[in-house]
A and B are shown apart, each in its own frame.
Chain A
């Protein structure tokens, strides 16, 4: 592990993004536009206050999942990954470099969406806005880590896109946004218990609903961070120095 190589990788990815301003603009603006749309579709401040916090976590999670799985797949298919694997870079340096770059992007994304939600759209956040930002970034990192991991199982970008409904949509359906998790049957409830997004959404809902920071909140944060780290390490295991 080497911090300089992690940072070099982060800088490289950010430079790549700098040459693609349209992607950056969409990454940062689309979640906010969807929040605005949602506010007026729901047309009720109370319902919006209940839904919006979860979305502040779901957007970075989903978007970063997609962006990362495509970017790493591209790295695999254009043989730049093979070249890196012949060089003195640790696999985790590469993955943490990715996580850091997309984590920074997620901060920008969530900051813009939160600012618009709390000012223009009237979202009321009772807890710490910093903690909210931390959870949203953890969600983004979870998306990055999962995206890195599943890119190993996709041969084409078309396949990589198809992993979105497989890995992201079930978590979305079961995270408590569409139906309270407690009201689900035991199978669904158990499933929602093993999906990291459920804890992220629970944490976001708690922060917007109250200013107390309790043990459950810390537990949720730890679970999301732990799952992100686990997926990153699993992702490292899918990078091979030797290939057939």
Chain B
């Protein structure tokens, strides 16, 4: 499975006394942008956390870049941006990034590079705590871009951004994939699905479908992905009852 960046086999996760991810298996190809789509609360974040290796799992195997998830060797190779910004509010953008760059032993020049990539050059010396919501989530994303991560796990990186910024971030993601990085991007808006190479559609802790946007459209005979997703849900419910 050397051409897979991530393989998940029989993953089960329990949180708060109940199972929230049920026996999930899939593989993610290297060098591609894979979108994890599904409604809020369907287990996207829990699954991403399992891949990053910060989630206590109840069962199954997660292999990332050839190592078990959470292995020390992976800590330099994965860029992870949580949904809630995890960045020091009482530092400037530059100061906060400089700290994380030092921990990753990334070159100092990386700080300016990632600030430019997420379009925060004008806010480089602003306190993180004074940023707007969209700026904050971009600062959070910038941390994940430090160093040269082979795998980027981005949990809802474009939430609340204006369309122009969203577009430029997706261009950035495509560029990173073109340079060989693997991206795993979660979202709950379907119009972002079309920008991915591969999709993982999730619902209620299960994978509903996988495949490229074109393949999913074709399989369901739907013109747009929103409709395709609906069709898949209905088919599954019909099969279950």
Contact = CB atoms under 8 A, between A and B. Distances in A.
Contact of A12 (B53, B86, B99): B99
Nearest to B100: A87
Contacts of B54: 82, 85-86, 241-243
Contacts of B16: 244
Contact of A78 (B55, B86, B95, B104): B86
Interface stretch (A14-22, A35-43, A200-208, A227-235): A14-22
Interface in B16-48: 16
B192 to A, nearest CB: 23
B76 interface: yes
A9 B75 CA distance: 17
B224 to A, nearest CB: 35
Interface stretch (B77-85, B158-166, B197-205): B77-85
A183 B127 CA distance: 55
B84 A79 contact: yes
B75 A86 contact: yes
Contact of B53 (A11, A15, A241): A241
B102 interface: yes
A11 B103 CA distance: 12
Interface residues of A, number: 25
Contacts of A80: 86-88
A232 B95 CA distance: 26
Given A12-B88, A80-B88, A242 B99 contact: no
Most buried by B among A80, A82, A83, A241: A83
Contacts of A243: 54-56
Contacts of A19: 90-91, 127
Contacts, number: 75
Contacts of B91: 12, 15-16, 19
A85 B75 CA distance: 9
A88 B55 contact: no
A82 B55 CA distance: 10
Interface string B49-79: 0001111100000000000001010011010
Contacts of A213: none
Contacts of B15: 244
A85 B82 CA distance: 13
A71 B41 CA distance: 30
Find the residue from A5, A86, A89 having the highest chain B CB count within 10 A: A86
B142 interface: no
Contacts of B55: 242-244
Given A16-B91, A244-B15, A87 B86 contact: no
A82 B86 contact: yes
Contact of B78 (A8, A82, A86): A86
Contacts of B80: 83, 86
A126 B217 CA distance: 86
Contacts of B105: 4, 88
Interface centre among B16, B53, B76, B103 (most CB of A within 10 A): B103
Nearest to B104: A87
Given A88-B103, A242-B54, A243-B54, A83 B88 contact: no
A83 B102 contact: no
Interface string A192-214: 00000000000000000000000
Interface of A: 4-5, 8-9, 11-12, 15-16, 19-20, 78-80, 82-89, 241-244
Given A83-B86, A86-B52, A244-B56, 12 more contacts: A9-B99, A19-B90, A19-B127, A78-B89, A80-B87, A80-B88, A86-B80, A87-B103, A242-B53, A242-B56, A243-B54, A243-B55
